[in-house]
Structure 1
Amino acid sequence: MNDLSVKKINKQIDEFTQSGKIPSELVFGYKTYAVLMQDDKFADQIMKGTENPIVRFYKKLKITLVTDKHYFQVK
């Protein structure tokens, strides 16, 4: 997952949607998330939750961080 980019994330979200499923969550490894936050295209689309400001969203999908260093999954 070291080569994960915003373009690849968007592609995986689209593929998940095209398979007939509705994505609700993005799961990132903490280092993967840190690298992505350095990309302005990704960081500009991150929004804080209205109910809980600690919760973050990307394209209205909740972001969950896990302890794996390099990890990404659409749920």
Structure 2
Amino acid sequence: MLKMKSTCERCRAALTLSEQAYICSYECTFCPDCTEALSQRCPNCQGDLVLRPPRTRSPTEAPSLGFKAKLEDFLYRA
């Protein structure tokens, strides 16, 4: 799962889940201003910085589904 970092690695600007941010294949995260200043190139791995997909909420806020939910139900019911 993609780790959604909450700050730019260069300037430490706050980045929310739905804000525009750029990442490389190692998930280094940069704000749009720093990405432009870096010519869309990650200073850590030299990979391309691409637009990070937005999220509307954290995975921990999502309801539990599937096996994990069944296991939790079983464990807490007993």
The interval holding the TM-score normalised by the smaller chain is: under 0.3
Give the structure-1-normalised TM-score: 0.24
Greater percentage in strand:
1
Give the structure-2-normalised TM-score: 0.23
Larger radius of gyration: 2
Structure number with the bigger relative contact order (C-alpha 8 A, sep ≥ 6) is: 1
Greater percentage in helix:
1
